[in-house]
Amino acid sequence: MALVLAPEGQLNDWLIALDAQMERSPNFFDARPVVVDLGGIAREQKGVAQFLELLERRGIRIIGTEGAHPSWDGIEKWGRPLPVSTKPGREIEAPAAKPDKPALPAGASLPGTEANTLLIDQPVRSGQSVVFERGDITVLGSVASGAEIMAGGSVHIYGTLRGRAIAGLAGHPGARIFCSELQAELLAIDGVYQTADDMPAKVVGKPVQAWLDGERMKISVLT
């Protein structure tokens, strides 16, 4: 999976806004592949390749571009452009072959023959990334800081969530995230996200659910 950045308007102003966001969430781009959607930049814009270099200097790992104009000097060094996206700002799949069946971590099982739930009966350790696009993920333990859970449906964590939980991966805005104790680095549903700095203090450390209300994420304490 990759994140999409879509710069527009004056690039200097856009960089200033990006720097402000990175100050609020300094770890958001850590180890995350990024696609830069250049479709919103005017063809006569100068210095686009240098702009991409400035993004890399900020620790943003660029794996490709969308909407790049071939007349821009130096743009070819950023690799083969990816197909133009019709949904800028959403997470997209990196160009890698998908296995027929998901690779399961130890302690994980798929109940039934046409299962839509991945069950993990042990904690998810830092550095582990669990992806299941066909349905929900249920974790019977905790999710450590630096770990990542990504589900096509909802995410259920019967322990402390310290890492990242991403639901609605396949375009499912009705997906939800549940956990017994919220200490998360990031929550995301159908491309809408909140980082730790954005979460209300009253829900941190509590059992919660997160869901989308239109284009906004809401988090409430479970009672």
Which H, E and C letters describe 172-223, residue by residue?
CCCCCEEEEEECCCEEEECCEEEEHHHCCHHHCCCCEEEEEECCEEEEEECC
Q: What is the pLDDT of residue 176?
A: 96
Instruction: Please tell me whether residue 82 adopts helix, strand or coil conformation.
Output: coil
Q: What is the pLDDT of residue 113?
A: 37
pTM beyond 0.95: the answer is no
Q: What is the pLDDT of residue 108?
A: 52
pLDDT averaged per 10 residues, the chain (length 223): 75 89 78 80 87 89 80 71 39 38 47 66 86 89 90 94 88 92 92 86 95 91 89
Q: What is the pLDDT of residue 43?
A: 85
Please say whether the beta carbons of 166 and 149 come within 8 A: yes
Helix axis angle, 11-24 to 48-57, nearest 10°: 10
Distances (CA, A) of 83 to 95, 202, 209: 11, 42, 35
Q: What is the pLDDT of residue 117?
A: 87
Residue 92 has phi, psi (to 5 degrees) of: -125, 165
Q: Decide: residue 128, CB within 10 A, 0-12 exposed, 13-18 middle, 19+ buried.
A: middle
- Tokens 């990175």 sit on residue: 22
